[in-house]
Amino acid sequence: MNLIRTYSELSELKTYEERFEYLSLSGKVGEDTFGFDRYLNQQLYKSKEWKMVRDIVIMRDNGCDLGMDDYDIFGTIYVHHMNPLTTDDFENSSEYLLNPEYLICVSLDTHNAIHYGSYDYVNRNKIITRTPNDHCPWKK
């Protein structure tokens, strides 16, 4: 089954968890994306067109992870292609490249978890309980 993910469908999902599952690819670290054809996506990310659409997506999503309010991204905002791209998409200027309907803002943790992990890898709302000297193990 060829599932085409869209922002319209994603925005109907109310929780971060649902949105994450919708986008999850469950790949493995080290799997080739483009192999020797990485120059294709690097050309795209340096283009004026990409920079314009990237700004549009960031404004639409208010710079929030998966476009969820209260999930502000502190640090670099990644604009993620919701559908894995192929060499053919780049060579034929597919609509998936620059159409905001197929793009979403994500943090680095979320991006990596979508591609290579599971929801368990996303540090969402985890409270770290601090104890005296927990940052100095030699003082325990």
Amino acid letter, residue 82? M
101 within some domain: yes
100 within some domain: yes
Q: Does the pLDDT at position 95 exceed 60?
A: yes
Residue holding tokens 């978890």?
Answer: 113
The parent domain of residue 119 ranges over 7-139
The structure's pTM equals 0.79
66 within some domain: yes
Q: How far is the C-alpha of 88 from the C-alpha of 80, rounded, in Å?
A: 18
129 within some domain: yes
- Provide the pLDDT confidence category of residue 78 given band limits of 50, 70 and 90: very high
The string of pLDDT tens digits covering residues 15-74 is 999 999 999 987 654 444 554 566 777 888 899 999 999 999 999 999 999 999 999 999
Q: How far is the C-alpha of 72 from the C-alpha of 64, rounded, in Å?
A: 4
1 within some domain: no
119 touches 17 (CB < 8 A):
yes
Q: How far is the C-alpha of 38 from the C-alpha of 47, rounded, in Å?
A: 15
- How many domains in the chain? 1
Structure letter (DSSP) for residue 105 = E
Q: SS3 of 104, please?
A: strand
DSSP string, 39-85: HHHHHHHTSHHHHHHHHHHHHHTTTBGGG-TT-B--SPPEEEESS--
Question: What ranges make up the beta strands (E) of 73-132?
Answer: 78-81, 103-106
